[in-house]
Structure 1
């Protein structure tokens, strides 16, 4: 039973992602999570207020299954296939995060200081979540897709804009964690 609770190794998960991408390319489809938000907004009538949402959302219904699969898969993995919900991270990183005030670092998947119900009453934590969400949403739209869409689907289609976007994601992440993160906390 203990072996089933271990993450799949890269040599299993990687080829499975490649098979899924091959099938999507073969069927003329592209994967991406942020495009689902556009589809949901259009389903709810946003096409009546903005031309951006004026498209045939029914042609994208298949991609909504990705959301359902991500939610169900995450629930099953967390509740039935995870022996320890803590992320195995470098002890030096845990120590550094503890110094910044993240006492749950190394003990939980998400830091309680940002993702607990109590965090919603903390102005600083709530501000970080709202501003971060707006920046991620804006960035995904401006880049023409999210990290999963560009890094998995775009790169597998050998699209130069996706390569540029992925490089930008990594550079932005490095700048954030090494320059801005210590200033915020």
Structure 2
């Protein structure tokens, strides 16, 4: 019997995602986190300054439930459904990460070298946050949506632009991890 603290298998989580997507498609709705950010900016009054944010955000109120669900779900998953087990990383990956300065590779989902206040409040950390945030924001706007919107909603509704965007996300991820990551942390 599977423990509740273990990840759900694909045959449980996959159909649950499919049911949610079929329901959204049936009601003519789309899913994506970047659309929620646009809605929040519109609520805060960004539409007075930037035309992109000038739209009827009240028609997107239902989508704000996604943000609330992500926060509550993340809290529940972290504090009630997670176990403190080591990750089963390939020994070569651990070795490579160790050469890049990651001391506890495989011991934590969030390495302290990236996800700690010390890592954020220095010149390198701030530069990574600012440049990375700008690139993610630009890429999301340029691609017409975020990874969740394209990979889940776009692919499930068979949209060719979403397929192209998802392929681009994967290529970008490979370039980042194999070329840029060693330059930044090497």
| Alignment correspondent of 1:96 | 96
The 1:74/1:23 distance shift into structure 2, 3 A limit, reads same
Give the TM-score normalised by structure 1.
0.95
1:4 aligns with 2:23: no
| Alignment correspondent of 1:144 | 144
What residue ranges of structure 1 are gaps of 5+ in the alignment? Answer: none
| Alignment correspondent of 1:116 | 116
| Alignment correspondent of 1:36 | 36
**1:86 Cα offset (Å):** 4.7
| Alignment correspondent of 1:27 | 27
**Equivalence map 1:1-185=2 (5 Å):** 3-84=3-84, 86-185=86-185
Shift >6 Å, 4+ stretches: none
- Residues 52-73 of structure 1 deviation map (CA, whole Å, 9 limit, x = unaligned): 0111101111111101111110
* Contact 1:31-1:149 at 8 Å conserved across structures: yes
Give the TM-score normalised by structure 2.
0.95
- Residues 110-160 of structure 1 deviation map (CA, whole Å, 9 limit, x = unaligned): 121121011122211221122111111110111000000000000111111
* Cα RMSD after superposing both structures: 1.4
How many residue pairs match? The answer is: 185
Partners of 1:28 and 1:46 in 2: how far apart?
Answer: 26
Deviates more, 1:165-174 or 1:94-103: 94-103
The 1:85/1:35 distance shift into structure 2, 3 A limit, reads farther
**1:176 Cα offset (Å):** 1.1
* Contact 1:78-1:85 at 8 Å conserved across structures: no
* Contact 1:113-1:125 at 8 Å conserved across structures: no
The 1:120/1:87 distance shift into structure 2, 3 A limit, reads same
